[in-house]
């Protein structure tokens, strides 16, 4: 290891380009011919939603740095300008790949009797009449056409809104005699620009009449485009094309100057709609004159213009999958199972007193978390309930229970993180409701996002005060709990209870204990804790003792952490990373990362849990928490890492990690060249082909049927015995 610079830029992958590789893996799911057709359409839509957020935040941030002439290099040695150039090149290729998949999937839809028709194609007389009538009756009354001239400036185009831009020529006289034909060369005539926003209050996918047992669909913008002359009666429409603008949605708060954080965030949210344009999507073939007007008015560069060979905004694919009568094209939704470890006949507090409980979402139901808060709200012995909330659903049963608890006279303290990106508005609404109900609401900490997932219930019991704690890797969101893989721990451990109290005292005031029992917090010393644990494995390897790390999380791009992993790998530590998204690690580097494997699992559920296993010289340890190995999580957020202390639970979680390492159906392995590849299963017999998510579903269903609380544990434990 001597002489090796583990921080050398060539050992790291740029985080922005790594994220694009993640979206490519999602696109791979849309290409998977073994999946039902509607499932593939769903993944195509997800790639579009992912890309939107990527531009609004990450690309916007790069543009800000370029404009500010920031030349600081990232861990891979790239300046912001170099990153932006590489991202633009990669995303243009990715968008083309998206629409190649779109063409394939729409062709498949047609063979199944579902056809997406363009207004530019020949509609049948019946379909044309239906579209025109639909326009006049349903669409026309909602539209607001906006012309641009000397008295009417170019309108503000909202972020992510779908619009139709048109070039017009005024008619010669009131009798309607056209100055020129719509199809004539209009170069010598003065053109006017007009804009029509496609209303998002109307459904975008419209079903046209057609033959029995067939579905003919058309997008709303196509109907508007077909009838656009009806909006400009005194003009001839030279051309009309849809376009879409993506704007910088990442705002910065000067929290020191903000007297009221809630009001300041509300102001910034309004600005988000009108941030700097960072991407312009136009339909392929758009008139060059119209393109130039949009380019100039939006102040956007050529490389930021995306010519789209199909419908704009492929998130619409999720609407197509809602077409009725095609159940055979859908994947049956998995129903989270009632956890066998919890009995509906006993109160949840007595069950937690029996021993720590582990909850694995979405295989098991989120209901015990909801039940903990509901029971506490109406329980006469409950004195206080405290929670941190980062993202919650729009109709959250937990927040309703918290409000009820306050009305019942409990002391309720809730930290609502107003700075949770794209959930700010929802969180503001809930914060105000909770305040009205009598809850004490904290709006996060100055300069930090509170990303930790912790709930504390304080009860007055016969033997004194007892604290019940739930710690998790995911948000207290009953909707995403059906879609994300997360793990939660229920405990009434006195030491963890003391730490939980200290966490909330720190969040609500300025009280920080001198000593913590079990929990590790960011940004205080969580990063140092991770580095200590990694370096400890390195030292065990050098001593010839058992040394291994298995780490599962969403993202890894912190240079200090990666450098420590490289050093541990060089010392002989076997390191298996299960990283869903961004990963700046490079594998297969001689003397640096030969002992590191990285895999990404993309499947029906979004892999979201953070679990880290350390062999620790044979005295195994398992930790879970809310933090990824990213600078923002370790240095700019309030995060919690907690140990799993029950030997059986440690064994269960290790078995779960090893099961994921055996996944050969949905896992992609990071290659030394930076690409991700699936295992070739051509010669692998079916009984040896495994999807970890499918296997967990099967185990959970069987455990629920037999009311066997130990079945999941028994299913996982043999996995590590084999290794």
**Active site members:** 451
- Give me the phi and psi of 474, to 5 degrees please: -130, 175
- Give me the phi and psi of 382, to 5 degrees please: -75, 125
Query: Is residue 612 within 8 Å of residue 623, measured between CB atoms?
Result: yes
3-state secondary structure of 433: helix
Residues 429, 433, 436, 439, CA torsion sign: negative
**Locus of tokens 């049956």:** 332
Q: Which of 545, 649, 670, 540 is nearest to 598 (CA)?
A: 670
3-state secondary structure of 277: strand
SS (H, E, C) 556-579: ECCHHHHHHHHHHHHCCCEEEEEE
Cis (ω within 30 of 0) for the bond into 541? no
In this structure, what DSSP letter does residue 282 have? E
User: Any idea what the Cα angle at residue 65 is, between residues 62 and 66, rounded to 5°?
Assistant: 85
DSSP labels, 161-197: -EEEEEEEEE-SSTT---SS-TTS--TTS--EEEEEE
3-state secondary structure of 448: strand
DSSP labels, 289-340: HHHHHHHHHHT--GGGEEEESS-S-GGGHHHHTT-TT-GGGSPPPP-PBPPT
Among left, alpha and beta (phi > 0; psi -120 to 50; other), residue 464 is: left
The rounded Cα 688 to chain-centroid distance in angstroms is 31
CA pair distance 613, 623, nearest whole angstrom: 7
CA pair distance 510, 521, nearest whole angstrom: 15
Query: Is residue 569 within 8 Å of residue 594, measured between CB atoms?
Result: yes
Residues 135, 136, 137, 141, CA torsion sign: positive
- 564 Cβ contact list (under 8 Å, min separation 6): 530, 531, 534, 535, 538
- Across 107-183, the runs of DSSP E, i.e. the strands, are 114-116, 146-148, 162-170
Question: What is the crossing angle of helices 647-661 and 692-706, to 10°?
Answer: 140
CA pair distance 366, 470, nearest whole angstrom: 12
């Amino acid at each position: 290891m001597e002489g090796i610079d583990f921080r050398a830029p060539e050992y790291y992958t740029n985080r922005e380009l790594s994220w694009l590789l993640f979206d490519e893996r999602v696109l791979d799911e849309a290409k998977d011919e073994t999946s039902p057709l509607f499932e593939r359409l769903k993944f195509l839509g997800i790639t579009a939603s992912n890309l939107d957020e990527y531009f609004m935040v990450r690309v916007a941030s790069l543009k800000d740095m370029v404009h500010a002439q920031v030349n600081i290099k990232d861990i891979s040695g790239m300046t912001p300008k170099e990153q932006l150039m590489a991202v633009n090149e990669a995303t243009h290729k990715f968008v083309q790949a998206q629409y190649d998949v779109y063409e394939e999937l729409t062709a498949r839809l047609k063979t199944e009797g579902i056809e997406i028709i363009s207004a530019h194609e020949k509609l049948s007389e019946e379909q044309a009449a239906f579209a025109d009538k639909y326009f006049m009756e349903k669409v026309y009354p909602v539209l607001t056409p906006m012309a641009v001239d000397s008295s009417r400036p170019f309108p503000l185009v909202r972020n992510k809104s779908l619009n139709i831009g048109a070039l017009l020529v005024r008619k010669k006289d009131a009798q309607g005699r056209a100055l020129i034909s719509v199809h004539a060369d209009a170069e010598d005539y003065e053109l006017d620009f007009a804009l029509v926003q496609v209303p998002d209050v109307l459904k975008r996918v419209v079903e046209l009449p057609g033959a029995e047992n067939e579905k003919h669909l058309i997008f709303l913008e196509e109907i508007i485009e077909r009838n656009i002359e009806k909006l400009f009666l005194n003009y001839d429409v030279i051309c009309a094309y849809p376009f879409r603008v993506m704007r910088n949605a990442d705002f910065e708060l000067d929290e020191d100057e903000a007297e009221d954080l809630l009001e300041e965030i509300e102001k910034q949210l309004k600005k988000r709609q009108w941030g700097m344009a960072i991407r312009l999507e136009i339909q392929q073939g758009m008139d060059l004159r119209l393109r130039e007007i949009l380019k100039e008015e939006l102040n956007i560069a050529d490389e930021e213009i995306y010519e789209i060979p199909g419908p704009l905004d492929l998130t619409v694919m999720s609407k197509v999958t809602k077409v009725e009568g095609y159940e055979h094209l859908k994947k049956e939704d998995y129903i989270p199972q009632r956890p066998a470890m919890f009995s509906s006949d006993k109160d949840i507090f007595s069950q937690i007193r029996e021993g720590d409980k582990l909850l694995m979402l979405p295989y098991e139901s989120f209901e015990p978390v909801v039940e903990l808060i509901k029971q506490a709200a109406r329980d006469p012995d409950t004195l206080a309930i405290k929670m941190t909330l980062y993202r919650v659903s729009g109709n959250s049963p937990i927040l309703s229970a918290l409000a009820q608890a306050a009305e019942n006279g409990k002391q309720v303290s809730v930290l609502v993180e107003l700075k949770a990106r794209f959930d700010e508005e929802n969180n503001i609404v809930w914060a105000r409701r909770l305040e009205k109900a009598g809850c004490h609401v904290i709006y996060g900490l100055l300069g930090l996002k509170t990303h930790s997932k912790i709930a504390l219930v304080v009860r007055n019991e016969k033997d004194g005060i007892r604290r019940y704690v739930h710690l998790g890797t995911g948000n207290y969101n009953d909707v995403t709990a059906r879609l994300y893989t997360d793990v939660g721990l229920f405990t009434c451990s006195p030491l963890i209870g003391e730490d939980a109290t200290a966490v909330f005292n720190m969040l609500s005031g300025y009280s920080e204990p001198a000593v913590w029992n079990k929990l590790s917090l960011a940004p205080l010393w969580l990063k140092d804790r991770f580095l200590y644990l990694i370096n400890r494995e390195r030292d065990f390897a050098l001593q010839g003792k058992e040394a291994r790390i298995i780490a599962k999380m969403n993202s890894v791009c912190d240079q200090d952490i990666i450098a420590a992993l490289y050093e541990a790998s060089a010392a002989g530590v076997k390191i298996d990373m299960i990283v869903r998204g961004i990963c700046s690690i490079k594998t297969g580097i001689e003397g640096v990362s030969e002992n590191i494997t990285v895999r990404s699992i993309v499947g029906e559920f979004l892999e979201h849990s953070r679990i880290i296993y350390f062999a620790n010289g044979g005295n195994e340890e398992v930790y879970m928490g809310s933090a990824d190995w990213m600078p923002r999580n370790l240095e700019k957020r309030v995060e919690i890492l907690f140990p799993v202390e029950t030997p059986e639970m440690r064994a269960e979680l290790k078995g779960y990690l090893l099961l994921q390492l055996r996944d050969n159906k949905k896992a992609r392995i990071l290659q030394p060249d930076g690409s991700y590849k699936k295992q070739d299963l051509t010669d692998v017999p079916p009984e040896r082909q495994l999807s970890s998510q499918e296997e967990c579903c099967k185990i959970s269903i069987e455990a629920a049927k037999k009311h066997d609380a130990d079945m999941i544990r028994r299913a996982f434990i043999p996995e590590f015995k084999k290794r």
